[in-house]
């Protein structure tokens, strides 16, 4: 099995690129943000707990997303691998992922990182807010806190994965098609 991580700040275009990657490489797209939004829509106790954190631009507790990912790994069959989107988002989550995979004699295949500057993050999220209507895309204070959370808690993963020699970066500022070509060129190496 392949275990790819799609990495990058909020609004980098991870979800957009993921949809064509999963088809081309027969992967299961696992977005922890999507899984959490499903829980919120279902009104589960987990969803209720997650909603206030997400709306504030904070991360949900590591154990919640780690359990979700573990569960998906166990239940999804008939794919060549997984494309993790929005997970891991902290060093603790990355270490948990390594453990989960080690127990299956597997490891992270590669980290594909889509990078955009903070100003473009804000522009992209504002544009998306008008289309998708996500509550966490609507308020400036939430967007700013998501960017801060990204820099503080998620960005340290770059050196974590560089050390493991699994890290590849593409410039995410171009067109969807342009970024897709760069992503595919990297994916074809694994």
Binding site for ligand ADP (CB under 6 A): 10-11, 14, 31-33, 36, 53-54, 58-60, 65, 86-87, 89, 93, 136, 146
**146/182 with CB nearer ligand ADP:** 146
**Least distance (Å) from ligand ADP to the CB of residue 39?**
10
Please state the φ and ψ torsions of residue 80, each to the nearest 5 degrees.
Answer: -90, -10
Residues 6 or more apart in contact with residue 47 via CB below 8 angstroms: 36, 38, 39, 40, 41
**7/167 with CB nearer ligand ADP:** 7
**Chain Cα centroid distance, residue 155:** 12
**Least distance (Å) from ligand ADP to the CB of residue 112?**
14
The CA-atom distances, in angstroms, between 33 and each of 15, 85, 166, 188 are 10, 8, 23, 26
What is the spatial distance between Cα 14 and Cα 37, in angstroms, rounded to a whole number?
A: 16
**100/189 with CB nearer ligand ADP:** 100
**40/189 with CB nearer ligand ADP:** 40
**Least distance (Å) from ligand ADP to the CB of residue 160?**
14
Other C-beta atoms lying within 10 Å of the C-beta of residue 189: 7
Residue nearest to ligand ADP (CB): 33
């Amino acid at each position: 099995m392949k275990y790819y991580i799609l990495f990058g700040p909020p609004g980098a275009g991870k979800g957009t690129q993921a949809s064509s990657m999963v088809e081309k490489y027969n992967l299961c797209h696992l977005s922890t943000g999507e899984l959490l939004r499903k829980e919120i829509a279902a009104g589960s106790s987990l969803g209720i707990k997650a909603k206030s954190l997400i709306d504030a631009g904070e991360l949900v507790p590591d154990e919640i997303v780690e359990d979700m990912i573990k569960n998906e790994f166990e239940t999804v069959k008939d794919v060549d691998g997984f494309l993790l989107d929005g997970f891991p988002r902290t060093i603790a989550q990355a270490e948990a992922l390594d453990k989960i995979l080690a127990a299956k004699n597997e490891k992270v295949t590669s980290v594909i990182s889509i990078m955009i500057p903070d100003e473009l993050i804000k522009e992209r999220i504002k544009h998306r807010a008008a289309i998708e209507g996500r509550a966490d895309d609507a308020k400036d204070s939430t967007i700013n806190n998501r960017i801060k959370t990204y820099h503080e808690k998620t960005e340290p993963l770059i050196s974590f994965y560089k050390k493991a020699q699994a890290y590849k970066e593409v410039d995410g500022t171009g067109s969807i098609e342009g970024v897709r070509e760069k992503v595919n060129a990297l994916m074809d190496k694994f």
